Amino acid sequence: SQKIEQNSEALNIQEGKTATLTCNYTNYSPAYLQWYRQDPGRGPVFLLLIRENEKEKRKERLKVTFDTTLKQSLFHITASQPADSATYLCALIFVGDNYGQNFVFGPGTRLSVLP
Amino acid sequence: DVKVTQSSRYLVKRTGEKVFLECVQDMDHENMFWYRQDPGLGLRLIYFSYDVKMKEKGDIPEGYSVSREKKERFSLILESASTNQTSMYLCASSNPGSYGPNEKLFFGSGTQLSVL
């Protein structure tokens, strides 16, 4: 069956360290993958997109990798800050004819950065 | 700044009531979506629309209907609310982009619905 998992429901990390979040999937062949940030009581906000033929993408303190052989994406936040505390969602995207059926979201990882 | 606005942040309804959740976007997006979010289950697609008066079922459409009479507005209707529809409901919109039919999604702040 198809499945998308994120490494853990919750992750605690000390301020200044690098946070690494994992997104694993089985029986999917996504064209690209996105990461979103969600704060409590708010909707998700888009952060980064990476295509299947890209190995790595960076944006400021954020880095995403995408390994289609391992069926895994890693999301890194370097020099983490308490303001980075939030839930992070990965989403697999499939390009097809159906406009709406092409996003599949993971359950999310709640990151807490401790001062 | 782009905006997706959901009419209510919190809503409490009784079993059997008809419930309307409203969503408005100001970005002239073609595509609009309704998701529900439950702990441990991620976001699940209920319905989506890629044009005015057009609608398509998502993964969990049972017990829901939608209406899109104007491009900027997409309504989710619970015909007869049940306790298992207690959830966070999120509206989103998008436009086709270089990566495919939907580029990134813009979400509203969500409506936490409790059905008693």
Q: Which residue of chain A is at minimal alpha-carbon distance from B49?
A: A100
Handedness of CA A83, A87, A92, A97 (dihedral sign): negative
pLDDT band at B18 (very low <50, low <70, confident <90, very high): very high
Kindly tell me if the per-residue pLDDT of B22 is higher than 70.
yes
Q: Which of residues 24-43 of B touch A (CB under 8 A)?
A: 31, 33, 40-43
What residue ranges of chain A have pLDDT lower than 70?
A: 1-2, 95-101
Q: Please check whether residue B108 touches A, CB under 8 A.
A: yes
Please indicate whether, in this complex, the C-beta atoms of A9 and B40 are within 8 angstroms of each other: yes
Domains defined for chain B, CATH in brackets = 4-115 (2.60.40.10)
Banded pLDDT at B9 (limits 50, 70, 90): very high
Q: Which of B7, B32, B41, B43 to mutate to test the interface with A (most CBs of A within 10 A)?
A: B43
Choose the closest CB to B110 out of A42, A101, A107.
A42
Put simply, the answer to whether B104 touches A34 (Cβ < 8 Å) is: yes
The residue with greater pLDDT, B9 or A97, is B9
Note the pLDDT of residue B61.
Answer: 96
Q: Which of B80, B78, B84 is nearest to B66 (CA)?
A: B78
pLDDT tens across B52-79, in order?
Answer: 988 999 989 999 999 999 999 999 999 9
Q: Quick check: A98 and B110 CB within 8 A?
A: no
**More confident position, B96 or B11:** B11
Structure-token match 């999310």, residue found: A108
Terminal Cα-to-Cα distance of chain A (whole angstroms): 41
Window 27-86 of A, Cβ < 8 Å to B: 31-32, 34, 36, 41-46, 49, 51
Q: Count structural domains, chain A.
A: 1
Per-residue pLDDT, B75: 97
Please give the residue of chain A at the shortest CA–CA distance from B98: A95
The CATH code of the domain that includes A97 is: 2.60.40.10
Q: Which two tokens stand for residue A48?
A: 């980064």
Instruction: Locate the chain A residue with the closest alpha carbon to B110.
Output: A43
Given this model, what pLDDT does residue B85 score?
A: 97
Higher pLDDT, B6 or B94: B6
Across the interface, whether the CB atoms of B99 and A93 are under 8 A apart is answered yes
Q: For the residues B27-33, what does the mean pLDDT come to?
A: 91
- Comparing CB atoms, the residue among A49, A96, A100 nearest residue B50 is A100
Give the range of the structural domain holding residue A71, as residue numbers without chain letter: 3-114
Contacts with A33 from chain B: Cβ below 8 Å: none
Is the confidence at residue B2, as pLDDT, over 80?
A: no
Instruction: Give the mean pLDDT of chain B.
Output: 91
Determine the pLDDT at residue B98. Answer: 59
pLDDT for A1 equals 63
Q: Which residue in A70, A63, A74 sits closest to A7, CA to CA?
A: A74
Residue B1: per-residue pLDDT: 66
**In the prediction, which pLDDT does A52 show?**
84
What gap in Å lies between CA B33 and CA B54, rounded to an integer?
12
Looking at residue A51, its pLDDT comes to 87
Binning chain B into helix, strand and coil, the percentages to the nearest 5 are 5, 55, 45
- Inspect the interface and report whether the beta carbons of B104 and A46 lie closer than 8 Å: yes
* pLDDT tens digit sequence for A57-88: 999 999 999 998 999 999 999 999 999 999 99
